[in-house]
Every structure is written in structure tokens, then in C-alpha cells.
Amino acid sequence: MAAALRALLAGQGITDPLMVGIYTGGVWVAQRLHRLLGLENPLGTLDISFYRDDFTRVGMNPTVKPSLLPVNIEDRHVILVDDVLNTGRTIRAALNELFDYGRPASILLAALVDRGGRELPIQADVVGTRIDLAAGEHIKLHGPQPLRLSRVSGAR
Amino acid sequence: MDKRNIQLDDDGQLRHFLTIEGLKRQMLVDILDAAESFTSVTEQTVKKVPLLRGKTIVNLFFESSTRTRTTFELAAKRLSADVLNINVNASATTKGETLLDTQRNLEAMQCDMFVVRHAVSGAAHFIARHAAPHVSVINAGDGRHAHPTQAMLDMFTIRRHKGDFYKLRVAIVGDILHSRVARSQIHALSTLGVEEIRVIGPKTLIPLEAHTLGVHVHHDLRSGLRDIDVIITLRLQHERMTGALLPSEHEYFQLYGLTEARLDLAKPDAIIMHPGPINRGVEIDSAVADGPRSVILNQVAHGTAVRMAIMAKAMQRLPSLPARELH
């Protein structure tokens, strides 16, 4: 993923991107990528709990972590990082939250795993791996040290 | 109150917020934690989140209160809810409509939450008992009974400055008898497990049954302030002076006014709080109110985040359908 991202950034002429990880797994992946790419801007973190589209059905996340964007994102190139890309609703929520902080110049999306099942027209620019899951199967990232993926059966 | 706590739904989640009484410690901690998260919203360029988008919240104030109503309105707007401020003095209740009729009409307009301020104790509870299933009620102060959101923002302020509650000694100074704020603070502090709560004031302003609330009663300010971590001064209502409960404001200040000299009895890092608006030179000296240990303006700043947390928690619903995961 780091190599693919580096090539993508070079191809687009982006030299000082701001990387932002989505809690919780996305932050773990972003920490690794941030180090591998040697990015100068500090890593940002995003908790999209207040932006979920199913709040009135599932209630509030009991452990919301404050989002932290260490630099102004106005006109900045952002790399958004999540662990598992599934329906696309988390990314939709993250995009909405980012725009409440300012108007970035561009946003690239990097996901460790694309497991399909999209409900929104959202695709990642860089994907670590694609996994086809059986009905009722889910994927879970364990971390932060070491990072490990596992398949989980049944409800999450 | 019913044996069943009507503040909670069948799953033990907060539905109404009427009083601190009957709420478990973890519920209060959850609210404080959520409020902590909401403070970050004010740091965004767009100071709001879409959590309650599409919801309508009614500020139903039967008693005037600019500050509390404003922070509730701001909290609701920062959650993206639509807000109606009902001017009760000009409303149908003055034309003879009952409280229940007013409530029914607002519910028929598909309002989702009532924030109620009323001079009569139990008014918010009455509205909650008659609320439609989709409606939540928040008590913004009822008579002498309770002011739970004020108490929670006070707890938030204490936690921000002092961390853990367990080792704290807290003193509440002033008119305990008529104070809904003090009642709610005492319940919140007890639930959160502080080491000692003291109430300090003249005999005429401390209820006889105060000891049943688990507090230590002091009529002497000096003994009451000794080794205290948190001092909460209460607003003294002017009508208490004419009600023969106190001789004069001047004498009250002489005996119970918080001055820098008296602060020496408290711990050096004690914080000073006041629910506002303050009477300078009556409950508190200006030098103390504006001094380095005063966190009075912090309390005001925390009011919005804490009310956002309470509104969001009261409006959340457990899923009736399987939850859709966000990925």
C-alpha cells in the first residue's frame, strides 16, 4: 500500500499530503503508512460517530474519541485511511466531517481491505487486499501491535 | 415518582432527563464522556454535527432564563436540530389552555423533544409522564426540585479540573433550602462518589432534612471551608431578603461571602464555582469571582457540550431493526 500510495502521490504531484486515519482500525493502518511514507505533517485522526447515518437506530457510540486534525485542511491534499471498506457509509460520514473542518484540495482514499458490498458510489484509490466473504462473514482488524486480520462469522 | 424510573427506557437507556436521582454512576460518567467528545465540535470550522438533523426540539420555558435557554438552543443547533422557542407569556396557556393541551398540540406538530423550565416542582416530570412514545423531555429546572443539566455541567467542570471524584471534598455555600441546583449537585456528587459533601449556610436556608442527603451541615463558613477541594457558591435570591430569612445582603456577605481571606482555609488548589448569574459582593467578592481559582466562566463554556451530550443520549434509540454496520 505504501508503494502504491507513493506512486499515486508522485503521479499527481502531491508533495505534502495530510494523512487522516478513521478510528479505530483506520488509525492503526494510517500510523503504519505514515511512518513508511515518511510524511512530515502529523497524522490526523477522525471519529465519525457524530456523522453516522444510523444514529437514531443504533444510538451513540459510548467511546467517541475527539477527532484531531493537527493542521488546517483548507486547500490541502488529504489521504483518508480506513481498515475495511464495505458499504461506503463510513467514508461518506468521514467526508462530511472533513468538510466541516474546511475545503481540502483533494482527498485520496486508502483501505487495507476492500470486502465489497458497496451501498454508495465510493471507491478506494489504494487497496491493500480484496477479500470475498461468504454470507454472514465479516472481517476484523486486530491491533495496534501487531496488526492482524481475521474472519468472523455471525453478527458483529 | 413511579417505582419504575421513567427516565429510562426498557433497555435502561436514557429517554428523559428529569433528575439525577435514580441514575447510576455509569450513566453520569457516560454523559460526561460524551460531553468531552462534543467539546471538539466547537473547534471545527463548522461548529455543528449532523447527529439530530431532522429532529425538532422545543424550548418550553414557563419561567424566564436567558442563559439556560440560550445554551440549550445552541446545543440543539450544534446537533443540527431545528429549535422552537415557545414564548409562554404570549402563548395559549395564558388564554386558558392547559399544559397538557399545549403539549399535545406540539406533539401533533411532530416535535421530538421538549426542554422544559417551569416554576412548579414536578412540571417536567408531569410532561414526561404524558409524553408520546417518540418524545423525550429534558428538565431545564423545575421549582425547587431539580436542575440536572446544570449539575452535570458542574460535574464536568469539576472533572476537568480535578480528575477523579473519589478523593474530593466539596462545599456548597448559600441558600440550599430553595436551590434546585444544590439538590441536583448533591445527588450528582453522591452518585459520582466524592469523599465528602458539605453544605454551608445560615440555619434559615438549610433544610432540616439535609442530613438525609448524606451531607455534612456547617453554619460557620470557616469550619466548612477547611481542606475543601471545590467550593460551589449559590446565587442568593433577592426575595429571600424580604422574606425574613436573612437580615440583609450586607450581613450575609459578612458571614457567608467568599473572600480571598476566607479562601485560605480551603486547599491551595481549590476551585470556585457558581451557577450564575452572580451577585458580586453578596455571595462572592469580585476579586474571587475574577481570580485565578475561579472556574465560573469555564462552567458557562461547558454548558453547551454537556447539554449536547444529554440531548443526544436522550434522543438515541436502540435499534428496532438489525443495525447496519458502517464500513
Tens digit of pLDDT for each residue in B201-232? 999 889 888 888 899 999 999 999 999 999 99
A vs B, Cβ pairs < 8 A, gives 89
Task: Check residue B117 and give its pLDDT.
Answer: 93
CB contact under 8 A, B325 and A86: yes
| Matching residue, cell 463558613 | B221
Measure A3 CA to nearest chain B CA, in Å: 24
Rounded mean pLDDT for each run of 10 residues along chain A, 156 residues in total = 96 96 95 96 93 79 78 94 95 95 96 94 96 84 86 72
> With pLDDT > 70 as the criterion, what percentage of chain B qualifies?
91
pTM for this one? 0.88
Residue of chain A nearest B134, judged by CA positions: A56
CB contact under 8 A, A84 and B315: no
Task: Check residue B211 and give its pLDDT.
Answer: 83
Measure B32 CA to nearest chain A CA, in Å: 11
Using DSSP's 3-state secondary structure scheme, residue A87 falls into coil
Task: Check residue B43 and give its pLDDT.
Answer: 74
Enter the ipTM.
Answer: 0.80
Measure A2 CA to nearest chain B CA, in Å: 22
Q: Give A125's DSSP letter.
A: S
CB contact under 8 A, A57 and B46: no
* A90 → closest Cβ in B36, B317, B326: B326
Task: Check residue B152 and give its pLDDT.
Answer: 98
Grid cell locating B216: 455534612
Taking 70 as the threshold, does the pLDDT of residue B239 lie above it? no
Q: Is B325 on the interface with A (CB under 8 A)?
A: yes
The closest of B93, B59, B96 to B74, measured between CA atoms, is: B59
Task: Check residue B320 and give its pLDDT.
Answer: 36
Contacts of A117 in chain B (CB under 8 A): 327
CB contact under 8 A, A62 and B326: no
Task: Check residue A7 and give its pLDDT.
Answer: 97
Contacts of A84 in chain B (CB under 8 A): 327
SS (H, E, C) chain B: CCCCCCCECCCCCECCECCCCCCCHHHHHHHHHHHHHHHHHHHCCCCCCCCCCCCEEEEEECCCCHHHHHHHHHHHHHCCCEEEEEEHHHCHHHHCCCHHHHHHHHHHCCCCEEEEEECCCCHHHHHHHCCCCCCEEEEEEECCCECHHHHHHHHHHHHHHHCCCCCCEEEEECCCCCCHHHHHHHHHHHHHCCCEEEEECCHHHCCHHHHHHCCEEECCHHHHHCCCCEEEECCCCCHHHHCCCCCCHHHHHHHHCECHHHHCCCCCCCEEECCCCCCECCCECHHHHCCCCECHHHHHHHHHHHHHHHHHHHHCCCCCCCCCCCC
CB contact under 8 A, A66 and B39: yes
> With pLDDT > 90 as the criterion, what percentage of chain B qualifies?
63
- Give the integer Cα–Cα distance in Å for B58 and B322: 30
Task: Check residue B76 and give its pLDDT.
Answer: 97
B90-126 residue pLDDT tens: 566 666 678 888 888 888 888 999 999 998 999 999 9
